[in-house]
Structure 1
Amino acid sequence: MMKCYEFALSALALGLSSLTLPVSAAPDSVNIGYQKANIFALLKYRGTLESTLEKQGINVRWVEFPAGPQMLEGLNVGSIDLAATGDAPPAFAQAAKADLVYLGHSPANPKTEAIVVPSDSAIHSVKDLKGKRIALNKGSDVNYLLIAALKESGLSYKDITPVYLPPADARAAFQKGAVDAWVIWDPYLAEVEASTGARQVRNAEGLVPHYTFYLASRKFADGEPEVARQVLDELSKLSEWANQHPTEAAAILSHSTGLDSTIWRTTLTRLPYGAERMTDAVFAQQQKLADTFTNAKLLPTKIDVRSASWSADKK
């Protein structure tokens, strides 16, 4: 279950062996966290980043994580240098004092998350959710969607009963009828629509943008800015390839996740890949997300999202 994780903090003791500073050298390796269903999984399977960096004597080490919060904990304690997650995990990581930076983001993809109900449900609008049991990951991207959708319909979080479950457990509860609705993201969204005929009540279009963010530890981003730029460049090239070759991309992600390639082909019709540097507008949208979670008392403290800006963007 996604929750407000406390991130372990480690102090690094630095020593100087001489009075002169050495010339900065490229790192021997770059450690990248990934999940089976995200863009870094595609990058790993394609192997293009390794081809680029090995020419500079840099090895790429891939570290798999089950979810965004654990991955950002790894980023904070130094076990990985780079990661990609949805909107919510970086906000919770910042609240827990993780020293991360935003390197960039994907295009908005609001069609990839939605509130769904069984095909024969009497629920046909968000207003009909009043008094209902709704399954979701606590503190996740879809938690933000649910809060925004309720507000749009004149309801509050107190008008529904949230049932906090990870996707696998939520899927089982949804199919058994233990909950009235489920707020979920792709590829789980595409899977439940295909296998059960689940019907969307509201997706994120016009409510919340829903980005994937490319993140790095501040130590890595500031210490190795050129390597960080190269990773973003490879993500941009990969995105162009994936957007133009959805069948091949679906096959890779099917192999990675074990989900049928038809599920991934559906997902990719509403998931535009891309890698863009951060802008004032995107930071403002992410600040709105963080403030929404703080006001809902799901985020323990108010944060300044821009404090996680990359120094390369300030020049």
Structure 2
Amino acid sequence: MSCIRLRLLHAENTGFDRQRRHLLGLGAASLLGGLAPGALISPVAAAPIPAGTRLRIAQYKGGDRLLLAAAGLADTPYAIDWAEFASGNLMVEAMNGGSLDLAYGSEIPPLFGHLAGANIRVVAVIKGDVNEQTVLVPKDSAIRAIADLKGKRVGYVRATTTHYYLTKMLAEVGLGFADIQAINLSVPDGASAFRTGQLDAWAIYGYSVPLAQTSVGARVLKRANGYLSGNYLYFSPPQAIADPARNAALADVFLRLQKAFAWRQANPERYAEAIAPEIGVPVDAVLTLLRNESQPRRLVAVDEAAIRSQQDVADTFLKSGVINRQVDLHPLWDRSFEPVLNGRAG
């Protein structure tokens, strides 16, 4: 597969990690065991889906496949090939190479993909949590504020939310990436480096945060609330959007996800019990993260506010010198699924 490389102007220590693990091995039946029959919901697709339709969908560990199964929504009338990735930038690469029909990440990976000419379009928006996006330090660290990171070894994941909120946090105290030892690491490599004392701080997201807290007693230096919009973007290749069969299946996936997010909000204990074994985090740690969410998780249609939010990210990166040209992001966005997501499908 020919993958596009998302180049930045910044001098970095490492390139993108291409390690990816495919086909998550959890079956729906094992997840649904112990869940109440009332969790089962039967969404109606917006259009007929031809027999034999197949979607290739990316997810994070413990992601959408598990959620749909736990909510009783995994029995789709089309096949899904799930592939697991550690970050959105890797999903952009895979989609540009023709391997995916649907993926999601923060506003940042599609931005850099668009700048590099990736063949993707943003088709839906998750309104999600930002409190799990944090800068962590070792429990006994003398670092107490972002200003203390000057000269320190700070891990992050290039072209993701960590790149963005770390840029903004540093700028607030008069620092930039040149003032720290910024080390671009994949999520697994960052976890290893942090655990073994090779990092003074780690800008990271998701379930890596409670994992680091429970395994090595990591301390939160600063959360990204106030720096991130909370928008997480589903993106697809234009070919999938234009194909009637895949378009109908994607619409059905979105309907299921809307219901699954609502189920997740109403059943945090059941969701925590389903996901905790998969991600290797205690149920209580998952519940703590869920109860600390900055906003309820929901799936909404593309709108101008979401486009402006990503444009603000691009403008921030331009001002800070991370990118070298102004870009209009409107061509990256596609409103094809707006009727379905707004409940107006025929």
TM-score, normalised to structure 2's length?
0.74
- Asked if 1:205 corresponds to 2:261, the answer is no
Partner Cα distance (1:123, 1:270) in 2: 24
| Residue 117 (structure 2) aligns with | 97
| Residue 32 (structure 1) aligns with | 57
Determine if contact 2:231/2:306 at 8 Å carries over to the other structure: no
| Residue 138 (structure 2) aligns with | 118
Report the aligned-residue RMSD.
Answer: 2.8
Partner Cα distance (2:288, 2:188) in 1: 20
The one of 225, 233, 251 equivalent to 1:229 is 251
| Residue 333 (structure 2) aligns with | 309
- Asked if 1:42 corresponds to 2:67, the answer is yes
In structure 1, the gaps of 5 or more residues are 7-23
Partner Cα distance (1:289, 1:131) in 2: 26
Partner Cα distance (1:263, 1:299) in 2: 37
The one of 316, 319, 332 equivalent to 1:292 is 316
Partner Cα distance (2:261, 2:254) in 1: 10
- Asked if 1:244 corresponds to 2:280, the answer is no
What is the CA-CA distance between 1:149 and the residue it aligns to?
0.6
What is the CA-CA distance between 1:40 and the residue it aligns to?
4.4
Partner Cα distance (2:189, 2:148) in 1: 24
Task: State the one-letter code of the partner of 2:261.
Answer: S
| Residue 156 (structure 1) aligns with | 176
Partner Cα distance (1:253, 1:177) in 2: 28
What is the CA-CA distance between 1:148 and the residue it aligns to?
0.8
How many residues end up aligned between the 2 structures?
291
Determine if contact 1:116/1:202 at 8 Å carries over to the other structure: yes
Offset from partner CA, 1:185-226 (integer Å, 9 cap, x none): 121111212333322221111122243211111222233344
1:45 to 1:63, Cα distance in 2 relative to 1, 3 A: farther
Partner Cα distance (1:298, 1:4) in 2: 12
1:129 to 1:179, Cα distance in 2 relative to 1, 3 A: same
Determine if contact 1:39/1:84 at 8 Å carries over to the other structure: no
Secondary structure class of the residue paired with 2:141: coil
1:300 to 1:249, Cα distance in 2 relative to 1, 3 A: farther
Task: State the one-letter code of the partner of 1:102.
Answer: V
Offset from partner CA, 1:67-104 (integer Å, 9 cap, x none): 32332233233322111222322112212212222121
Determine if contact 1:31/1:82 at 8 Å carries over to the other structure: yes
Secondary structure class of the residue paired with 2:127: coil
Offset from partner CA, 1:124-157 (integer Å, 9 cap, x none): 1112222222111122211111001111222222
Task: State the one-letter code of the partner of 1:28.
Answer: T
Decide which structure has greater helix share.
1
Stretch deviating more after TM superposition (217-226 or 195-204): 217-226
| Residue 277 (structure 1) aligns with | 301
In structure 2, the gaps of 5 or more residues are 8-15, 17-47, 340-346
1:76 to 1:86, Cα distance in 2 relative to 1, 3 A: same
1:194 to 1:259, Cα distance in 2 relative to 1, 3 A: closer
Determine if contact 1:34/1:41 at 8 Å carries over to the other structure: no
Task: State the one-letter code of the partner of 1:247.
Answer: E
**Identity over aligned residues, as a percent?**
26
Offset from partner CA, 1:148-179 (integer Å, 9 cap, x none): 11112222222211122223332333233332
Stretch deviating more after TM superposition (189-198 or 253-262): 253-262
Offset from partner CA, 1:98-124 (integer Å, 9 cap, x none): 222212111142201111222222221
Secondary structure class of the residue paired with 1:109: coil
1:69-88 aligned within 5 A: 69-88=89-108
Partner Cα distance (1:228, 1:176) in 2: 42
Task: State the one-letter code of the partner of 2:140.
Answer: D
- Asked if 1:217 corresponds to 2:237, the answer is yes
Offset from partner CA, 1:217-259 (integer Å, 9 cap, x none): 1222233344333222111100000111112212322243333
Secondary structure class of the residue paired with 1:106: strand
| Residue 64 (structure 1) aligns with | 84
TM-score, normalised to structure 1's length?
0.81
Determine if contact 2:156/2:185 at 8 Å carries over to the other structure: yes
Determine if contact 2:53/2:79 at 8 Å carries over to the other structure: yes
